[in-house]
Amino acid sequence: MNEPHLPWRDWVPEFLLLALLWGSSFLFMREGAHAFGPFPTAWVRITLAALMLTPVLIWRREVPLLQKHWRPTMTSGLLNAGIPFACYAYALLHISTGLSSILNATTPLFGALIAWFWLGDKLNASRALGLGLGFTGVVLLASDVPGGVSFKSGGTGLAVVACLVATFCYGIAGSFTKRYLQEVPSLVTTTGSLWGASLGLSLPALLSWPTEAQPPMQAWAALGIAGLLCTALAYVLYFRLMTRTGPARAMTVTYLIPVFANLFGVMFLDEVVTHWMIGCGAVIVVGTALASGLVGRSVRRRSKL
């Protein structure tokens, strides 16, 4: 299927805004995680986004569709938001926002691998090469984590694993959505998923809610931005891009997110971006592009022109 053709002015501004929102989410999640802890941080972000999208769902009279498909949408929520957001909130307590965002770029890599196992998607030579190249980049990146890799409680090694668990869940969610929710409107899927994730995290969030000191207003504001802008608005933009430009082009936003995340980390957190991180990030992006078939599609498209 050919991707819809639109002039760049009609989609690039929204594409850049989406990358900025998702890139900045690492900064806001880090602020919230240090004040609330991982589970409450993820729960507040997700619940605020669900509360924002629910009136839109009601206004569009799509609540009956959510009631009909509530089981798969809520299951999708745990895979697509609940577990990943909690994992990233934990990781951001121990590693930089820049490193977390580079690891996040492996999402399409796991998506291609899981689609191959679960849905039987074809895995040709270039996609197999991409998988190997992408995972090599992850290993090289993890081997030079600042401060060394440690798998003790609170260690950087566990933080890296948490990021990879998150992207693995994103990969499962992609195949799960394609198999069980492909015909369900995107707003129904998104809102139902967020409520499923919120319910799934409610007990862990309650049990780990900070009691010694109330989180400062700055942390509340950070999670408010993460929930309302970096989640609710970002999901609306993402599905709008998927509809208008096609899923392949919309998915490439993953490659631009680390640019904004590292930029904000340097500007506001005095983080350091090393040449090794840039090099490994480039290896991961190239491998992911090959594994997801984006490079192959681009080459075939040019050959037909």
pLDDT tens digits along 112-167 = 788 888 877 777 788 788 888 888 888 888 777 665 555 666 668 889 999 999 99
For CA atoms 144, 22, 77, 128, the dihedral sign is negative
The full set of domain ranges for the chain reads 16-304
pLDDT band for 106, please (50, 70, 90 cuts). Answer: confident
* Alpha-carbon gap, residue 224 to 283, rounded angstroms: 34
Judge whether 25 and 91 are in contact, CB under 8 Å: no
Closest CA to 231 of 35, 2, 32, 96: 32
Q: What is the DSSP letter of 8?
A: G
How many residues in total does the chain contain?
305
- Residue 39: which residues within 8 A CB-CB, separation 6 or more? 86, 89, 201, 204, 205, 207, 208
Judge whether 227 and 44 are in contact, CB under 8 Å: yes
* Alpha-carbon gap, residue 193 to 46, rounded angstroms: 9
pLDDT band for 299, please (50, 70, 90 cuts). Answer: very low
pTM of the model: 0.86
pLDDT at 186 over 90: no
Tokens of 237: 């933009």
pLDDT of residue 33: 97
* Alpha-carbon gap, residue 54 to 21, rounded angstroms: 21
Q: Kindly state the helix (H) or strand (E) to which residue 6 belongs, with its residue range.
A: none
Closest CA to 241 of 2, 19, 1: 19
Closest CA to 31 of 266, 265, 207: 265
Q: Which residue has the higher pLDDT, 150 or 1?
A: 150
